[in-house]
Chain A
């Protein structure tokens, strides 16, 4: 009953009461006051008429603007991501690069390098080695261009990589002379495993040597006591003449012309590092090659 009392006015307003009740209420003083209130309330309105289309256009505009903002936000985000990635990549690259140690010898220079494990490398002129300092304990791998003498401390596998093949040892001393299509390995002590790029395997022991020359393999022996390039004397045994001339170039900063003619000639012998002209004469006269010298250019005749 109380509930009905509470909502009577609402029901009356909504014309939801029986006719008799309505009639009696409408004719009462209170009913007339309420009628008046409703009349006035019904004349009220919101100060501004609703412009539905206008507001919808505003909404559409904001949707568009937000989309742009979002796009900008995303692209900025992506920009940072890409930038961070590049930064990371370059820093890793530099970090990695910085761990790559390079040793290079110049014309006529000999360079002694001690590796992190106290193994020793002596570089002949115009040669270089590259290795990763950081990974050294995990992987003793060295990249060689030119000629070098190695004295490897006993330990894990030690690998020398050249263009023409890899030399794998455990602990030994050996000499490698490498250039394009040419690889010569001489074993002074211990055992050396030579793996050329054609996957041909050759194990060398003391006093044994192997030469890969244009895919031709030649095995030979030598006297480990005889002097070598480390003592200032370059020693060759049936080495293609261009390789010998290259050794002369590297040693004395010569520049040979017309080498192609003699590419099939082979040279056995030595030259000393202290007198360039004498060394030149030693090699070329032995091969019966006439030549003229212009500055450091040596032009081969015949």
Chain B
């Protein structure tokens, strides 16, 4: 029933178009960042995808807009063939970390930093799918269901990607 009601929504309507942008732009941007690993390229791709969505608005059903955006983005990415190494940064004000490290020795802080760097670098070198899913979950705080919907895969596949990503990171860290 809900699907039927959204089928009549015209993408050509500025209001609906903006709604699609609000719904998908952030996730698409993150997703493209995890794919191409360059934030300005990712944003360019998102921009291009939404412009294309507008140009084809009359032939796109509201519910299929995400599929269209993703496909256009991926195509655009394959065309640019730009593939940098992902760069992630740590949040500036990390209360939990501060609490943990406040009373620790400098050596321990150094070890902690090394540990964090290792985690970061391992994430950067994960296979595309695992990295995409894992970061959509951890950074974008998407639920498994949301990731599954966004990528058009099953929740089980999402869970497999996340488990595999965690195992790979654990393996890279080695003995603690």
Interface residues of A (CB under 8 A from B): 3, 6-11, 13-14, 29-30, 33-34, 36-48, 50, 52, 55-56, 58-59, 62-63, 66
Which residues does chain B contribute within 8 Å of A44, judged by CB atoms? 88-91, 120, 123, 135, 138-139
Residues of chain B in range 158-176 having any CB-CB distance to chain A below 8 Å = 158-160, 162-164, 166-167, 169-170, 173, 176
Interface flag for B63 (CB, 8 Å):
no
From the candidates B29, B120, B176, name the one contacting A50 in the complex (CB within 8 A). Answer: B29
Interface flag for B21 (CB, 8 Å):
yes
Compute how far the CA of A242 lies from the CA of B29 in the bound complex, rounded to whole angstroms. 95
Contact A33 B173, beta carbon cutoff 8 Å? yes
What's the minimum C-beta distance from A220 to chain B, rounded to whole angstroms? Answer: 79
Residues of chain B in range 123-176 having any CB-CB distance to chain A below 8 Å = 123, 134-135, 137-139, 144, 156, 158-160, 162-164, 166-167, 169-170, 173, 176
Q: In the complex, how many residue pairs between chain A and chain B have their CB atoms under 8 Å apart?
A: 114
What's the minimum C-beta distance from B151 to chain A, rounded to whole angstroms? Answer: 15
Look across to chain A and name the residue whose beta carbon is closest to the beta carbon of B157: A7
Interface flag for B47 (CB, 8 Å):
yes
Compute how far the CA of A48 lies from the CA of B87 in the bound complex, rounded to whole angstroms. 11
Compute how far the CA of A6 lies from the CA of B55 in the bound complex, rounded to whole angstroms. 43
Look across to chain A and name the residue whose beta carbon is closest to the beta carbon of B22: A52
Secondary structure dominating the interface of B:
helix
Nearest 9 A/B pairs, CB to CB: A10-B159, A7-B159, A10-B162, A9-B163, A9-B166, A10-B163, A44-B88, A41-B138, A40-B119
Which residues does chain A contribute within 8 Å of B139, judged by CB atoms? 44-46
Compute how far the CA of A39 lies from the CA of B169 in the bound complex, rounded to whole angstroms. 13
Interface contacts beyond A7-B159, A9-B162, A50-B26: sample of 18 additional A-B pairs, CB < 8 Å, sorted by A: A6-B159, A7-B160, A10-B163, A10-B166, A13-B162, A37-B119, A40-B120, A41-B138, A44-B135, A44-B139, A45-B89, A45-B90, A46-B33, A50-B25, A55-B25, A58-B47, A59-B54, A62-B47
